[in-house]
Copies of this chain bind each other. A is one copy, B any other.
Amino acid sequence: MVLELHVPHGDDFSALVPLIPVLLSYVLSFVYLGIYWNNHHHMLHATEKVTGSVLWANLHLLFWLSLIPFTTGWLGENHFATLPAAAYGVVLLMAAIAYWILQQRIIASQGEHSVLKQAIGNDWKGKVSPALYALAIGLAFVSPWLAIAIYVLVALIWVVPDRRIERLLG
């Protein structure tokens, strides 16, 4: 976790007020990074062999996740303005696509009896999330709060860890 919070100047409640949006975006991003960490943990447990293409797909995912502290800071310090809210969604969308690619690379490396393929089933969360992120990016230009609401919604969908994999692999 490389999210950063800057120490405010001043020692009274008014010093904390501008921190509220910063803290809210911090919490949202912490939850997102937690979701990725947990599901990534489960997914890698279902991976026996790390091929070159899996390593690169993993780095690609890390690249987009590494931008989350940046978009989080930009969102929080601008009190949920339009462009930062859209940029936040773009990075989430790209991370979701990168996660999907990584998943496909692992399944491909496992051959036709892929444990991971069975474990994820129809993967409705993985399909719905990018669509919702894309919707949120568009809606950010109507109202950034609509975008934020969708980000919170997608996070809630995922907070339940990927029990499918957990169940199959223990």
Task: Report A's interface with B, CB cutoff 8 A.
Answer: 1, 3, 5, 7-8, 10-13, 15-16, 27, 30, 34, 37-38, 41, 49, 51-53, 55-56, 59, 62-63, 66-67, 69-70, 73-74, 77-78, 81-84, 159-163, 166, 170
Residue of B nearest to A160 (CB): B52
Complex contact B81–A11 (CB within 8 A)? yes
A162: chain B residues at CB < 8 Å are 52
Give the interface SS of chain A, mostly helix, strand, loop or mixed: helix
Q: State A86–B37 Cα separation when bound (angstroms).
A: 31
Q: A56-B159, A159-B56 are in contact. Are A73 and B34 (CB under 8 A)?
A: no
29 sample A-B contacts, Cβ–Cβ < 8 Å, listed by A number: A1-B62, A1-B66, A5-B67, A7-B73, A7-B74, A8-B74, A10-B78, A11-B78, A11-B83, A12-B83, A13-B83, A15-B83, A16-B83, A27-B63, A30-B59, A30-B66, A34-B56, A34-B59, A37-B59, A38-B52, A38-B55, A38-B56, A38-B59, A41-B55, A51-B166, A52-B160, A52-B161, A52-B162, A56-B161
